[in-house]
Structure 1
């Protein structure tokens, strides 16, 4: 019975992950926007020389008495999720929206199968046999434990997925051009060492704990509240409502960690050169300094847009898979 929960959760997660992969790719591209556009310190700011209003003779730009006014620096345009998606299709083709989908399948197989199965196992174990209820705190605890273990197992596929999704934004000469998730994992281990497969693992684990606890626990809680108050019957409408609410909670809780995770995993470390980020905290500090605090919520719209449908597809598919496997 315990193994069955892993199988059901894995199948549902793979279906949900593949169906929402384009939104996840757009989210990753948005999270990396501005990373290479950090403001550089110039020896002297651009200035415009204004002559005093009563000056009658043309003088050189550095003439005494001229007024030096700093020129406004151009600001990088902010690009939304729709524009990012359109640009990807125009520049890389429609197929680019599914770049890295093999890594998504492996990630869901390792990460989501583990977290879904463990969460279901812990939930059944801790549920009061008499009342059939489980307090929210214990649901959150189950989510934290399941998410941490699942993330540790699936981190290599997560790194490969981020790199494959981000590759199209790089100049042709700098692209990694992984042909598949297995090519990515093999080349990373050979060129950067086996430890590179767990790059950003602390962030992956933290994010997974937040996502699993907020997504699965809040879904159960919202669903119970809807049914207890008699707002809706137990059916597709309840599942969709609870799923979108859970997706929003998960997006708010996890987005800052997700941005840092994406950047740390995607950073290119040249042999003998100092890496762009010394670690997650260094990445967070540099990101906030260069782009402002709101940079930690880059990709938030596609994150919500993905989390909602992902959770809906996940739980609707899960219910159907459970029906198919009920006799096993």
Structure 2
């Protein structure tokens, strides 16, 4: 019985992850916007601004494009990626998504399921919200620790296209990324930012799974809708919104810490999560922690909807096993 929750969660997560991958890519690029401006000159040279990268790319094709305005919305970021590198580029790092969902989401969904079965009151068949949240925190934390290497690989593969061709890391696949990272930066680098991944996953899992279950219970108890697609979509969209608000600040910092270049003899751009948060707020204001919120919500929304709707369908298919 325990194993089924893992399979269901895994299948649903991989489908949701792949279908919303372009939105995730756009989110990562937007969270790195404005980063170089705040960096000291040495780092600024390393993190050549996307505007510059775009400029050199435009240069190769001999089109003269004025540098784009510093703040751009998700649609223009997406269009620019397509113009520069073709539509397939929207799926760069998708192999990492599959691996990450396989490791991280299978673990978190399965564990949540196991804990839910354990902690549900057999008489009322309900689990109090606080217990749901605790179950989500535990499941998310463990899942993230397992999936962190794939997460770092994914952020780097997604961010790669911002760099001028000479500086790109050009990982061929997620396996290549992970093996190159352990060769060049030590195995420890695979868990870089893991305190952040774990924190974010605990927030996301708790807010996503607990609020989905809670919203679904409320809708059914109040008799607003029957248990079907409508309920699943409504509850999952609400859950996605809660998850986006809770996790975006951690997410921005996670993206920046995972992506930073650490060069021997150069002080790293960020000392750690807290240092990154302070530096970001000082240089770009507190709202910088909500950078990429529109793509986050436009990804968390569909991701959560696809995730739970698929999950409910997969559960139906497997209920006789």
TM-score by length of 1: 0.88
Deviation at 1:84, TM superposition (A): 0.6
| SS of aligned partner of 1:132 | coil
State the partner residue of 1:181: 174
State the partner residue of 1:283: 276
State the partner residue of 2:17: 17
| 1:4 maps to 2:4 | yes
> 1: CA distance between counterparts of 2:237 and 2:316?
23
> 1: CA distance between counterparts of 2:245 and 2:220?
25
> 2: CA distance between counterparts of 1:102 and 1:189?
18
Give the alignment of 1:122-141 within 5 angstroms.
Answer: 122-141=115-134
Tell me the alpha carbon deviations over residues 296-316 of structure 1, each in whole angstroms, 9 at most, x when there is no partner.
011100111111111111111
Deviation at 1:82, TM superposition (A): 0.6
| SS of aligned partner of 2:265 | coil
> 1: CA distance between counterparts of 2:303 and 2:39?
36
Segments of 5+ residues of structure 1 without an aligned counterpart are: 42-74
Higher Rg of the two aligned structures: 1
> 1: CA distance between counterparts of 2:165 and 2:283?
26
> 2: CA distance between counterparts of 1:94 and 1:281?
36
The alignment of Structure 1 onto Structure 2 pairs a total of residues equal to 295
> 1: CA distance between counterparts of 2:28 and 2:40?
24
Tell me the alpha carbon deviations over residues 217-238 of structure 1, each in whole angstroms, 9 at most, x when there is no partner.
0000011111111111111111
Q: Which moved more, 1:168-177 or 1:206-215?
A: 168-177
Structure with bigger helix share is 2
> 1: CA distance between counterparts of 2:205 and 2:39?
36
State the partner residue of 1:31: 31
| SS of aligned partner of 2:232 | helix
Tell me the alpha carbon deviations over residues 10-58 of structure 1, each in whole angstroms, 9 at most, x when there is no partner.
01100000000000000000000011112779xxxxxxxxxxxxxxxxx
| SS of aligned partner of 1:214 | helix
| 1:201 maps to 2:200 | no
Tell me the alpha carbon deviations over residues 172-212 of structure 1, each in whole angstroms, 9 at most, x when there is no partner.
11110000000000000000000000000000000000000
State the partner residue of 2:319: 326
State the partner residue of 1:84: 77
State the partner residue of 1:271: 264
State the partner residue of 1:158: 151
State the partner residue of 2:49: none
Q: CA RMSD in A?
A: 1.4
| 1:316 maps to 2:274 | no
Give the alignment of 1:246-257 within 5 angstroms.
Answer: 246-257=239-250
> 2: CA distance between counterparts of 1:87 and 1:248?
27
Segments of 5+ residues of structure 2 without an aligned counterpart are: 42-67
State the partner residue of 2:214: 221
Tell me the alpha carbon deviations over residues 106-149 of structure 1, each in whole angstroms, 9 at most, x when there is no partner.
00000000000000110111001011011000000000000000
Say whether the 8 Å CA contact 2:155–2:259 is kept in structure 1.
yes
| SS of aligned partner of 1:238 | helix
